Chains A and B, each alone.
Chain A
Amino acid sequence: MTHFTAVLLFAFFASIVFGITQRETPRRMVHYGIYCFVLFVGSAIALSWIMFLIAR
């Protein structure tokens, strides 16, 4: 398993729980879940690039 696969799995399952618990209607749950997933993965990619550039 690669680090990125772990990030995707983590983001996927955590986003499902966040979506269900933090919103009330199914539609808003789906939207919030997608929003959390994008934020998880996006921030992981952004931080990875920042650390890569700092380490150079």
Chain B
Amino acid sequence: MANGENKNAVAGQEASSGSQASPQQGFVYLPLIAGWLVPGAGHFLLRKWGRGALLTVSILAMFVLGLAMQGKLYGNPHDILESLCMAGDLGNGLLYIVSRILGLGADQVQVTTADWGARFIVVAGLLNVIAAVDAHNLRTGRKS
């Protein structure tokens, strides 16, 4: 009798989780990849509009401010420190790729704000990676 009740309970849970999971079918890593390529896109895919908008604005603002301060986009690293900075820059996804194609942040500018700008761009990339992983956690149900 108890076994029968347990089975019913499990079946009920599966049915309820199945109904919740129905809009989340598809490629599990899509929010992660979309979130990396376009800041906030992973959250938009999961219909977290408010969180996505705030993440987009924050990361985009940091990236644009970095470029406005004449910050450098790391492209050809010459040492380990530059390699790490480039890894951070790559976290910006399409923003980094498009900016590199347009030739933005390519000049070596010897002003104080340029150094801050380079840091802004690197941190924007790192924050974007955190946001993309958060979207993945939402997708897998690790976070609500």
Contact residues on B (Cβ < 8 Å of other chain), bracket: 20 to 34
Shortest beta-carbon distance from B62 to chain A in Å: 5
What are 15 A-B interface contacts by the 8 Å CB criterion? A1-B69, A6-B113, A6-B116, A6-B120, A9-B62, A9-B65, A10-B62, A14-B58, A14-B62, A16-B55, A17-B58, A20-B54, A20-B55, A21-B133, A24-B144
Q: Do residues A10 and B123 form an inter-chain contact, with CB atoms below 8 A? A: yes
C-alpha spacing A21/B113, complex, angstroms? 29
C-alpha spacing A21/B135, complex, angstroms? 9
C-alpha spacing A14/B51, complex, angstroms? 14
C-alpha spacing A14/B59, complex, angstroms? 8
The size of the chain A interface, using a CB distance under 8 A, is 13
Give how many A-B residue pairs fall within 8 Å (CB-CB): 44
With a cutoff of 8 Å between Cβ atoms, the chain A residues found around residue B123 in the complex are: 10, 14
Binding site for A on B (CB under 8 A): 51, 54-55, 58-59, 61-62, 65, 69, 112-113, 116, 120, 123, 127, 130-131, 133-134, 143-144
